[in-house]
Structure 1
């Protein structure tokens, strides 16, 4: 991923937060025709020490991409966070142009498929995703008949994606501090994506936010 230096982050905690808050990732492999193959899917992020990550997920067994991972386990995974148009009106001078603000994480990964017959491993994987997105569903899943559970588990292929290298882009106009106050004000009054960017400006210390009221 091309990242101009002002927008590159090496902070693993920031990257982990971004991936967890925006878990719908794009898994990118290369097909036999040399063209990219992309699946959009939620991934569970496991963070280790020294900025190391492992991603866990699954695709439908009918999705041929898992067969590509079995033969060529190297892949790219991208996470897109909030993003929005940025008007040049935030600058105090007129010699400016529009741009787009965004937050993203790109990872180079090596895949390991979960054995098709290892229903317990796939069940644990599903419970990780359930625990992140709807913990109350866990009991409903447990109450389903064993036969139905086996059928559902047989219909997916799970995998572990070891992150070999990651990049985090936080494109929030860091190099133009004269625009930050107006930029934050515009975003804070805008769409959900824009409000999320305003919050991230506070997280990154680009603006001073008021102390929360007691």
Structure 2
């Protein structure tokens, strides 16, 4: 992605936080014609040995798993909170609007779980269940085995090893004169704007009294 140095973060803790708080990602592959193919899907982040792995699955009718099988390299993007920024946050008028946002882009290598690996699929699904509705795990375990077998057969699960990642935190870092008014505007705004205000505090961009 386009990544000016003032917006680039090399901190894996911030990248991991962003991926966990906004796990509904875009998985991007190339189809047989060389055109981008995109699936939006939730992914579970695993951190081990200083690296990242993403766990997920698609429906078996989705052709993307065949693309991953043929060409295992892919891109995954995560978009965090984002919001318009008015030039009114500046002390003078010779300014323009912009859009602030947080994003992580990952270059990944895919490994598909075998179709018959029901135990592996079950473990992967339980990771996703644990992220979003832990209480559902008991209901999943109680599903009739024949139905569970059919449901597991209907998905293709995969592990995406993150080979490289970029984290962009675009919060007008290079325009200090805007920070106080920008934080005040975001802190009283929409859900995304309030999330950006919290990230400004994390990054030390909010005024001391915030």
TM-score norm. by structure 2 comes to 0.98
- Cα drift, residue 34 of structure 1: 1.4
State the partner residue of 2:129. Answer: 130
Deviations 1:144-178 (A, max 9, x none): 11111111100000000000000000000000111
Deviations 1:109-156 (A, max 9, x none): 000000000000000000000001000000010111111111110000
Q: 1:139 aligns to what SS in structure 2?
A: helix
- Cα drift, residue 21 of structure 1: 0.2
Matching of residues 14-33 of structure 1 within 5 Å: 14-33=14-33
State the partner residue of 2:34. Answer: 34
- Cα drift, residue 49 of structure 1: 3.4
- Cα drift, residue 5 of structure 1: 0.6
- Cα drift, residue 210 of structure 1: 5.1
CA RMSD of aligned residues (A): 1.0
- Measure, in 1, the Cα distance between the counterparts of 2:48 and 2:197: 29
Q: 1:128 aligns to what SS in structure 2?
A: helix
- Measure, in 1, the Cα distance between the counterparts of 2:144 and 2:35: 41
Is the Cα contact below 8 Å between 2:23 and 2:44 reproduced in 1?
yes
State the partner residue of 1:56. Answer: 55
Q: 1:165 aligns to what SS in structure 2?
A: strand
Aligned: 1:7 with 2:17: no
- Measure, in 1, the Cα distance between the counterparts of 2:57 and 2:76: 13
State the partner residue of 2:71. Answer: 72
In structure 2, list runs of 5 or more residues that go unmatched.
none
State the partner residue of 1:118. Answer: 117
Matching of residues 62-101 of structure 1 within 5 Å: 62-101=61-100
In structure 1, list runs of 5 or more residues that go unmatched.
none
Matching of residues 64-213 of structure 1 within 5 Å: 64-208=63-207
- Measure, in 1, the Cα distance between the counterparts of 2:161 and 2:70: 16
- Measure, in 1, the Cα distance between the counterparts of 2:177 and 2:141: 55
Distance 1:146 1:7, change over 3 A: same
- Cα drift, residue 208 of structure 1: 3.9
After superposing on structure 2, the runs of 4+ consecutive aligned residues of structure 1 that deviate more than 4 Å are none
- Cα drift, residue 47 of structure 1: 1.1
How many residues in Structure 1 have an aligned counterpart in Structure 2? 210
